[in-house]
């Protein structure tokens, strides 16, 4: 979804449109790389949060078992 938004906004940001299909391809590739990087960072953060939540839950269970 972010990718589509960036593609829609991209022509309005530059002031002049790319003159060749090669330039358009380069721009599209750069946008795809940026979006992919953001998605990977999000997925990594999500996995980290899930890991922390599991560890916290495990610690709570161990604490409850000790009591």
Structure tokens given for 36: 């992919």
- The domain ranges of the chain are 22-67
**Residue % of the chain over a pLDDT of 90:** 58
Are 31 and 7 in contact by the 8 Å Cβ rule? The answer is: yes
* Distance, CA of 9 to CA of 27 (rounded, Å): 12
Count of CB atoms within 10 A of residue 38's CB?
12
The pTM score is 0.56
* Distance, CA of 10 to CA of 29 (rounded, Å): 13
Write down the mean pLDDT value for the chain: 83
């Amino acid at each position: 979804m972010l990718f589509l938004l960036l593609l829609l906004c991209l022509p309005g940001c530059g002031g002049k449109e790319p003159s060749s299909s090669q330039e358009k391809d380069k721009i599209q590739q750069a946008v795809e790389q940026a979006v992919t990087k953001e998605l990977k960072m999000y997925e990594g953060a999500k996995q980290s949060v899930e890991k922390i939540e599991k560890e916290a839950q495990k610690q709570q269970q161990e604490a409850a078992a000790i009591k």
